Amino acid sequence: MSTPVIIATWTDNGAFAPLARFAKECDKHFCVGERYKIETVEERSQRSHSHFFAWLHDAWLSLPDDRAMDFPTSEHLRKHALILTGHRDERKLVASSVAEARKIAAFLRPADEYAIISVHGNVVVEWKAKSQSKKAMGGPTFQKSKQDVMDFVSDMLRIETRERSAA
C-alpha cells in the first residue's frame, strides 16, 4: 500500500503538522518517532494551466491544412510536441532480428496512439509523452514543458514570441 499525499504546515516549533483532514491518514501510515523522507511538490497555477491548454487549442485550429492531417486533435499535437522537446519516457527493446523488431513495433503501435515508435535495425525505440497532470508535474516542471511545447508549436506555425506571451 502506498502512502497517500498529505498536506502539512511547518510550525513555529520546527515540526510539520498535517491539516486536520489528513490526521487519520497520518495515524494509519506513520509511527511516532520514525523518520520519513519528505518531498515537496511545487504547485502550479490554474491560470497558467488553463492558458496553456487554451493557447494550444487555438494553435491547433490555426494549423495549415498540410500539417492538420498529422494532428487530428490538439491532444495529438500536444503529445507530439512533448515527445519531440524531450518531455518523454523512452523504452528500447532489442529483438533477435530486424523482422522480429518490426513485429514488436507493429504490436506496440495500437497501445498508445500518441507514441512515436521507430525501428533501427533490430532495436525498437518507443517514445511516450510525459504526463502533464498536476499530480505528475509540479509547477517548475510544468512551466518548462509548457514553454517548450509553445516554442515548438510556434516554430511550426512561424509565430513570433511576443504573439504568444505566456500567462
111 pLDDT exceeds 70?
A: yes
What's the confidence (pLDDT) of residue 162? 45
Per the structure, the complete domain to which residue 5 belongs is given by 1-39
What's the confidence (pLDDT) of residue 164? 47
For 44-94, give the secondary structure using H, E and C: CCHHHHHHHHHHHHHHHHCCCHHHHCCCCCHHHHHHHHHHHCCCEEEEEEE
End-to-end CA distance of the chain: give it in Å, rounded.
39
Q: Judge if 69 and 141 occupy the same domain.
A: yes
The total number of structural domains in the chain stands at 2
pLDDT digits (tens, 9 = 90+) for 76-105: 999 999 999 999 999 999 999 999 999 999
Q: Using 50, 70 and 90 to split pLDDT, how confident is the model at 38? A: confident
| 124 touches 92 (CB < 8 A) | yes
| 21 touches 4 (CB < 8 A) | no
Q: Judge if 138 and 94 occupy the same domain.
A: yes
The mean of the pLDDT values for the chain is 88
Q: Could you give the C-alpha distances from 34 to 25, 77, 121, 142, in angstroms and in order?
A: 16, 47, 52, 33
pLDDT digits (tens, 9 = 90+) for 120-161: 999 999 999 999 988 888 788 999 999 999 999 999 888 654
Does the pTM of the predicted model rise above 0.85? no
Q: Judge if 141 and 97 occupy the same domain.
A: yes
Using a 10 angstrom Cβ sphere, with 0-12 exposed, 13-18 middle and 19 or more buried, the burial of residue 101 is buried
What's the confidence (pLDDT) of residue 144? 94
| 56 touches 149 (CB < 8 A) | yes
